[in-house]
Amino acid sequence: MIDEAELFYKIESKQFELDYNNSFDKDIREYSKTKGQVEALEWVKRLIAKESGDEDLEIDNSIMLGKEWG
């Protein structure tokens, strides 16, 4: 016979594991989305600085944009 307490514990543990994995996957997707947005904004900022000749515009050169990886 299955012990109800043990069964409940296993179900609860599995639910916690699934919730954790879903949360982790969601966080990875959100990080990737945010990283892409930051890169896009930095690209626009660099274009504006280049076109306007504004040397006071703060550029973050630590962000490597897509074509700079290649």
The mean per-residue pLDDT over the stretch 5-30 comes to 90
d(CA 42, CA 63): 8
pLDDT tens-digit series, residues 20-66: 888 988 999 999 999 888 888 888 888 888 888 877 767 777 777 66
Q: Where are the alpha helices (DSSP H) in the chain?
A: 4-52, 66-69
The residue that leads in pLDDT, 7 or 50, is: 7
Residue 65: what are its φ and ψ, rounded to 5°? -85, 165
Q: Where are the domains of the chain?
A: 35-69
Q: Are the C-beta atoms of residues 46 and 59 closer than 8 Å to each other?
A: yes
Q: What is the pLDDT of residue 12?
A: 93
In this model, does residue 2 exceed pLDDT 80? no
70 falls in which pLDDT band (50, 70, 90)? Answer: very low
* Integer angstrom CA distances of residue 5 from 2, 8, 9, 46, 64: 9, 5, 6, 61, 53
